[in-house]
Amino acid sequence: MSIKKGQLVPLNYEAREFEVIVIDPNGLGKNQPSIGFGFRMMERHAGLPEQTISNWVTEESGFEVDPNQATKYLKVPSGNAYRLTQIYGLDGKLYSVLEVSDWVALVVDVLDKPGKVRKATQRNLIKFLAWFAVKGLYADTYALLKGKYTEADSRTLSAWMISRLDGIAHRNNYTNFLQQKGCEEGYEYARWTNYIYLGLFGMTKNDMLQNWELVEGDKNIGRNHIPEIEGLEAVAYCERQVVELYVGDLLKAHDDAIGYARLKFFGGSLGGL
On whether both 113 and 14 belong to a single domain, the answer is: yes
On whether both 243 and 179 belong to a single domain, the answer is: yes
On whether both 22 and 77 belong to a single domain, the answer is: yes
Split into its structural domains, the chain has a count of 2
Query: What is the structure's pLDDT at 160?
Result: 65
On whether both 206 and 115 belong to a single domain, the answer is: no
Given a contact cutoff of 8 angstroms between Cβ atoms, the answer to whether 116 and 89 are in contact is no
Q: Tell whether 260 is covered by a domain.
A: yes
Q: Tell whether 148 is covered by a domain.
A: no
Q: Tell whether 50 is covered by a domain.
A: yes
Q: Tell whether 256 is covered by a domain.
A: yes
Q: Tell whether 234 is covered by a domain.
A: yes
Q: Calculate helix-pair angle for 187-201, 151-180, nearest 10 degrees.
A: 130
On whether both 179 and 116 belong to a single domain, the answer is: no
Side-chain half-sphere of 122: how many Cα atoms within 13 Å? 11
On whether both 96 and 176 belong to a single domain, the answer is: no
Last residue of a domain, one of 92, 123, 154: 123
Kindly give the parts of the chain with pLDDT less than 70.
Answer: 1, 12-16, 60-70, 131, 133-135, 140, 157-172, 215-225, 268-273
Domain that holds residue 173: 169-266
Q: Tell whether 140 is covered by a domain.
A: no
Last residue of a domain, one of 123, 148, 178: 123
On whether both 22 and 98 belong to a single domain, the answer is: yes
Q: Which residues contact 68 (CB under 8 A, 6 or more apart)?
A: 85, 86, 87, 88
pTM for the full predicted model: 0.52
Q: Tell whether 142 is covered by a domain.
A: no
On whether both 91 and 193 belong to a single domain, the answer is: no
Rounded Cα–Cα distance for residues 165 and 12 (Å): 18
